[in-house]
Amino acid sequence: MSASFGHEHGSTRHRDDLGRSIPTAFSLSMLVMLALACGTGERARRAQPTATRADSQAIQRLHDADRRAVLANDTATLKSLWTDDIVSMAPDGSVRRGRDANAAYLREQMSAMRGIRPIEYSLRFDEVSIRGDLAVEWGSFTSRSRREAGGDDMISGGKLMRVLRRAPDGNWLVARTIFTVEQPR
């Protein structure tokens, strides 16, 4: 089985202290994402190979709810878009496991942004691949914020990759996410 996500990054490898070849962090992260996306064992054999229109519409509803919640600084809604066991990996290398840890991080970030109001936020996914009850999506986000005290708008953005999981009610939730953040301009 082969899968392709975006551009080919070559086979750059690093060597450990014994001179053995080890894969780059990118290669390892892609392997983990592919393992999560493809599933293993019985669950993978039961997976539906194609997405339905209902799945695509439900994922779009997730994206729309995400966008509205970010613009409203609505942490409760953002938290409701995550699985109980969500794992996030931030640009600083930190890993947060579970809804409560991720919600606390979100509140910290929003507190640090006091006096700054988001006025635009968009998600653009280059690929959304659905297999059974899991989906992998990757793309970018952009935002424009304004200081309440005035001044120039701040524009920022970054890249993201997420693994989504279908809930029993048919809605899709964010189960895993990793993202980068570009410096505001």
CATH of the domain at 110: 3.10.450.50
Q: Does residue 57 belong to any structural domain of this protein?
A: yes
Q: What is the pLDDT of residue 74?
A: 92
* Residue 26, amino acid: F
- Measured in degrees and rounded to the nearest 5, phi and psi for residue 70 equal -60, -45
Q: What is the pLDDT of residue 185?
A: 64
Q: What is the pLDDT along the chain (185 residues), one digit of tens a residue?
A: 333 333 333 333 333 344 433 333 333 333 333 333 333 333 333 444 557 899 999 999 999 999 999 999 899 999 999 999 999 999 999 999 999 999 999 888 888 888 888 999 999 999 999 999 999 999 999 999 998 888 889 899 999 999 999 999 999 999 999 999 987 66
Q: Does residue 77 belong to any structural domain of this protein?
A: yes
Domain count, the chain: 1
Q: Does residue 116 belong to any structural domain of this protein?
A: yes
Longest dimension (CA), the chain: 57
Q: Does residue 117 belong to any structural domain of this protein?
A: yes
Q: Does residue 160 belong to any structural domain of this protein?
A: yes
Q: Does residue 171 belong to any structural domain of this protein?
A: yes
Q: Does residue 38 belong to any structural domain of this protein?
A: no
Q: What is the pLDDT of residue 59?
A: 97
121, two tokens: 């936020």
Q: Does residue 93 belong to any structural domain of this protein?
A: yes
**In which domain, by residue range, is 88 found?**
49-179
